[in-house]
Chain A
Amino acid sequence: MQSNSVSKMNNKWIKIFAVILISYTFIGGMWRPLNPGIMEIHPEKTKCGERIEVKVSTYNTHLDKGSNIAYLYIDSTYNIKSIDFKATSNNEAAITFDIPQFLPEKSPFINAGLIIVNPIDGGFARPSSVSIAQDSVNTLKGQEMWKQVKIEKFPDALHKGFPFRLILEETIRNIYYHVPFWMAMIILFSISVFYSIKYLFKPESDDAYHVYAYNRVGLFFGLMGLITGAIWAKNTWGQYWSGDIKQNMTAIALLIYAAYFILWKTFKDEQIQLRVSSAFNIFAFVAMIPLIFVIPRLYDSLHPGNGGNPALGGEDLDNTMRMVFYPAVIGYTLLGLWLANLLYRMNKIENHLKQ
């Protein structure tokens, strides 16, 4: 009696936290704008000793409100300042640079980054945006010419947004709706393995039905993760199915779990059904681990953290994003627990009605 009331109370809190955290994820993930960033630059090539007018289109900026300064930078010591900055709208500008006669290095060309600074947006940059070529080399003079300007400390931006990444742009928000599905899926499958082991040690049919419920929700979350990932891939990599190793491996992992459900339906004797499918569930989980955690690390992947792409964390998951991301993971997991509980109870009622 007492344990029943305890589990009921837990249930209530799971529901409340799931609703709060998921609403927070949706509102918080959509509310905050992106940081300012530079979208396009034209022209992208120039020569030493020329005066160029660079047309820039930016994102989420306020170029026409307040004075702007632009820099072309090679590294922290070598950079030049713009001589004219004409903002045509809040997201477009024409910037004029006098490129010095020589480069500070021996190489025939150099990729310089562009920095724009203004009091509202702070400073924002795009690395290697203009390639500068030189015909004759004079390193000493070049160093002298590029050293004259020192970049001032940027003013703080008035609003702090999510990081701006080229190509990703607004879709960076999908990290709150795509990644937590996987984390929640792994947690749900782990719980189902826990119940399988419990069942094999001490056969109580409730535990085996829990395995079934957790696997169903886990498979659903996996499918949702695949779908949200495919939509994200369409917008960033160009195709829904990009043949990425992680996409392929998770599809196979989900096949293993789909096999569990086929197995579940084939039995006539309930005792054998519960025992054998629990055993297969443990085997499936063990077979899934190399698919998700080992093999993707051996191949190149388009995902962050693989094949030379930056990892989750560091600059891509800054503090503003963590504030939404971690609650999202917890919220999705709680939602999964809630769904699994509902499925389990539905199953129990159905079985009861059959008898």
Chain B
Amino acid sequence: MRKILLLVKKDFYAEWRNEHAISSVLLYVFATVYITYTAFINIPAQTWNVLFWIVYLFVSVNALIRSFDQENSTKALYFYQLAGPTSIFAAKFIFNTVLLWILGLLTLILFSFIAGSPVRDYPLFLLSIFLAGIGFATIFTFISAIGAKTGNSHLLTAILGFPCVVPVLLELLKLSANSIGLLNDTDFGTDILILSAVNAILLSMSFILFPYIWRD
């Protein structure tokens, strides 16, 4: 557990010191939100819902696609000896999840600030961002680990990741449509349950499979 915390700290410092990486992600968020706003000006609620999640998906991909870039092979071997693959994955996953939560909130704030927000039920919408962070972080951390094992990792990560993310994304769209008031589904509890179950299954699968990907 302490190892994991240390590794999270290390990731955090590495990201913080590498100013250009974090600022490029922030700029990406701002640019995409602004482009979608200028393209639409008046965004209807349904389009807002779709646009938000698409922007958020692309922001997440761009933020996480580099997850394992820094762990080039000698460093990776060193960490592998030191902490073991499960701790490495846990640390990456925790760091990425927190990063995605922050980016999700940022996207929401920027979207509401520039294009207005049709959201009525904020707790539910924040819950969907919370679940989205876990789901996207699971999938893209795992897939970017696979991508790191191949040469041309970034393109491959996107190709492998997007289809895998669809089940999570569809549930999210439904849940957030509920919080905006497009859908009056009183039974969104099942959606939350299904989303959490899908997240839990994918997360446990990634934890089981990561050691096989990581060792050389």
Contacts and interface: CB of A to CB of B under 8 A. Distances in A.
Contacts, number: 76
A280 B205 contact: no
Counting contact residues on chain A (CB < 8 A from B), the size range is 20 to 34
B216 interface: yes
B166 A252 contact: yes
Nearest to A252: B166
Contact of A276 (B164, B190, B201, B213): B213
Given A252-B163, A256-B164, 9 more contacts: A256-B163, A259-B160, A275-B213, A276-B150, A279-B146, A286-B205, A287-B202, A290-B167, A298-B191
A290 B200 CA distance: 12
7 contacts: A259-B159, A259-B160, A276-B213, A279-B212, A287-B139, A290-B194, A290-B198
A267 B146 CA distance: 11
A263 B194 CA distance: 29
A283 interface: yes
Interface of B: 139, 142, 146, 149-152, 156, 159-160, 162-164, 166-167, 170-171, 174, 190-191, 194, 198, 201-202, 205-206, 209, 212-213, 216
B62 to A, nearest CB: 19
A285 B66 CA distance: 25
A295 B167 contact: yes
Contacts of A280: 146, 160
Interface string A229-272: 00000000000000000000000110110010011001110001
Given A255-B163, A276-B146, A283 B216 contact: no
A290 to B, nearest CB: 4
Interface in A273-305: 275-276, 278-280, 282-284, 286-287, 289-291, 294-295, 298
Contacts of B159: 259, 262
A69 interface: no
Contacts of A289: 201
Interface of A: 200, 252-253, 255-256, 259, 262-263, 266-268, 272, 275-276, 278-280, 282-284, 286-287, 289-291, 294-295, 298
Contacts of B213: 275-276, 279
B164 A282 contact: no
B167 A279 contact: no
Contacts of B212: 200, 275-276, 278-279
B156 A262 contact: yes
B157 to A, nearest CB: 10
Contacts of A256: 163-164
Contacts of B198: 290, 294
Nearest to A291: B167
A327 B194 CA distance: 35
Given A267-B150, A276-B146, A283 B206 contact: yes
B160 A268 contact: no
A282 B170 CA distance: 22
B164 A283 contact: yes
A267 B206 CA distance: 21
Contact of A268 (B151, B162, B166): B151
B128 to A, nearest CB: 15
A287 B164 contact: yes
The 7 nearest A-B residue pairs measured at CB: A255-B163, A256-B163, A290-B167, A279-B209, A266-B150, A287-B164, A259-B160
Given A275-B212, A279-B209, A283-B206, A291 B166 contact: yes
B202 A286 contact: yes
Contacts of A266: 150-152, 156
A259 B158 CA distance: 10
Nearest to A289: B201
Contacts of A286: 201-202, 205
Contacts of B151: 266, 268
A294 B194 contact: yes
B214 to A, nearest CB: 10
A283 B194 contact: no
A275 B150 CA distance: 12
Contacts of B201: 286, 289
A282 B205 contact: yes
Nearest to B210: A279
A283 B142 contact: yes
Contacts of B209: 200, 279, 282-283
B205 A259 contact: no
